[in-house]
Amino acid sequence: MRKIIILIACALLIQLKGFAQTQIEMNKDASDYYEVADKKMTKIYKEVMSNLNPEDKKLLLDAQRNWVKYKESHCKSVKNGFKKGSIQTLTYYTCLLEATEERIKQLQKYKVN
């Protein structure tokens, strides 16, 4: 089931930018989308941090560091499920993208409060 969800997510990612012809192009597209999302998350994180008191900043800093460790570990484990496949890199960046987009939503909640 997990592999089906990942493959569907990969297919949707490909459609966002257009039809890439090779695995290398698909991997590059996925990496590019992740990089954009990561920059957006970093910007939001910095905005949130600038509005927190010192105690809350420390808590969020610790949470963010732990989240980064989780994200990297989780996505490596997802990628590992495709050890013998050329889709491994695409799967990894798609996982990173999805996790980062979810983290953006979480961080944006700080801005509301």
Amino acid at 13: L
Higher pLDDT, 73 or 12: 73
Range of the domain at 67: 2-112
Domain harbouring 81, CATH code: 1.20.1270.180
Contacts of 49 (CB under 8 A, 6+ apart): 57, 60, 61
Amino acid at 8: I
Residue 12 to residue 18: CA distance in whole angstroms: 10
- State the average pLDDT for the chain: 88
pLDDT tens digits, 14-67: 555 566 579 889 999 999 999 999 999 999 999 999 999 999 999 999 999 999
Number of domains in the chain: 1
Report pTM. 0.80
